[in-house]
Structure 1
Amino acid sequence: MEQASRSAGTVRPGGRTARVRAAVLEATQDELVEHGFHGLTMDQVAARAGVGKTTVYRRWGSPAGLVTDLMTELADQSSPHADTGSIESDLRVNALAVCEAVNDGRLGATFQAMIAAATCDRQAADALRAFYLRRIEEWAGAVELAVQRGDLPRGTDAMEVIRAVSAPLYYRLVVTREPVTPEVAERSVQRALAAARAGAFIP
């Protein structure tokens, strides 16, 4: 759930195939930010990436294939969960990173476009769900460590704690369109942590 890279265009080892994928995903993110999911076209992505249309159609198949790969790449670029030795500090790192990500001009716009698309397109919804599930599972590790240390009750549902931290932030972003600030992030951490310590996340 923490911030991914601001761009999906990082070139990794692997020669031309890796460079093509990086260019196409970079172009996909640019088009998504500028035109939204429903304005995303294979031909425009190919032109923007400087890649042949045949290559793009053969490898990704559809706009949904492009955004699925983009969300996979963003998840891959995200950092591991924090492990400060304090669950309060770990959750604060998570919340502040979400805050930074949604306020980032490029990354925040990418998430908003995907969230909007997910409300009416099943494949976009699947891609977005897979991204967030990976991040929730990763950050659940911080909660599991806290349970092992005795900082939270045994049986605490780690993934639900992470959802509880970020849910108020995304509610402001998507539903009420209010600013998502560090102060809001801090309050979300304190409320989720108080609930977790009281056993509210034990099934």
Structure 2
Amino acid sequence: MSESRTPTPRPGGRSARVRADVVAATLAEVTEKAYEGLTVEAVAARSGVHKATLYRRWGGVNGLVADALTASADQPWPLPDTGDLAADLREITREVYAVFTDPELGPTPTALIAAAQRSDIGATALRVFFTARHRQAATVAARAVERGELPEGTDGAEVVRAATAPLYYRLFVTGEPLDARTAEQAADAAALAARAGLFITPAED
């Protein structure tokens, strides 16, 4: 079957429970077997949902991966509110560091991101996921603007991208070791750049 479709699970009631079971099964399977070993049949067996249903609603493994990311993006993300931008950004980068380097927690998001990069709909879902996360986390920069700590017009999402990008670069591009100090330095560098006005949205002509 074609896997070019986007997943179309419907919210509410039994449908929501089915989706939750399928997402959980997809995460477990991709963590254990990576993208190469992910199959609709295995997800069906683990979730208890018939494979015909999975094909109909998700289209195949790529749709399953994409919807697992969509479900993750829907989860609330408690954000720090320390009263200081650099401290808030350090909390965010420490969380990224802690999750991806935790031997129990880290393999699942690592495998999911790697799997998402293997298909067009997965890559699109990954971009949507990070856009949603950055938009949520931009709140810490908005608060800093209100406090007078950052200049008006600062793009909060870009501040967060700058803080977290060095971590993802090490995790998914170079494979270099990631430690807590690196995470803090990335946050501090982004805070300094933001205070210098480097993330102000240019005025339209």
Flag whether TM exceeds 0.5 (same fold).
yes
Q: 4+ residue runs of structure 1 moved beyond 6 angstroms? A: none
Alignment correspondent of 2:97: 99
Task: Name which of structure 1's ranges 186-195 and 107-116 shifts more when overlaid on structure 2.
Answer: 107-116
Q: 1:45 to 1:124 in 2, by over 3 A?
A: same
* 8 Å CA contact retained: 2:158, 2:199: yes
Matches within 5 A, 1:1-203: 15-105=13-103, 107-202=105-200, 203=202
Aligned to 1:4: none
When the two chains are superposed, the root-mean-square deviation of aligned CA atoms in Å is 2.0
Aligned position for 1:3: none
Residues 167-186 of structure 1: per-residue CA shift (max 9 Å, x gap): 11011111221222221111
The TM-score normalised by the length of structure 1 is: 0.84
CA distance in 2, matches of 1:118, 1:77: 18
How many Å apart are 1:106 and its aligned residue?
5.3
Contact 1:40 1:63 in 2 (8 A): yes
**Separation (CA, whole Å) in 2 of partners of 1:62 and 1:130:** 20
* Residues 165 and 192, structure 1, Cα contact 8 Å, conserved in 2: yes
Provide, for residues 15-49 of structure 1, a one-character-per-residue CA deviation record: whole Å limited to 9, x for no partner: 53333222211110011112222432211100111
> Can you list the C-alpha shifts for 1:179-201, whole angstroms capped at 9, x where unaligned?
22221111111111111111122
- Report if the CA contact (8 A) 1:80-1:139 is conserved: no
TM-score normalised by L of structure 2: 0.84
The verdict on how the C-alpha distance between 1:77 and 1:107 changes in structure 2, with shifts beyond 3 A counting, is farther
Could you say what secondary structure the match of 1:82 adopts?
Answer: coil
How far apart are residue 78 of structure 1 and its match?
A: 3.6
Q: Render the CA deviation track for 1:117-145: whole Å, top value 9, x for unaligned.
A: 44442111111111111000000111011
| Paired-residue identity, % | 51
For residues 159 and 101 of structure 2, what CA distance do their matches in structure 1 show? 22
Please list every run of 5 or more consecutive structure 1 residues that lacks an aligned counterpart in the other structure: 1-12
**CA contact under 8 A between 1:64 and 1:123: conserved in structure 2?**
yes
Q: Which moved more, 1:112-121 or 1:180-189?
A: 112-121
Deviates more, 1:34-43 or 1:63-72: 34-43
Give the distance between the partners of 2:14 and 2:155, measured in 1 at CA.
43
Task: Report the CA distance between 1:14 and its aligned residue.
Answer: 5.3
Contact 1:80 1:138 in 2 (8 A): no
Number of paired residues?
A: 191
Partner of 1:8: none
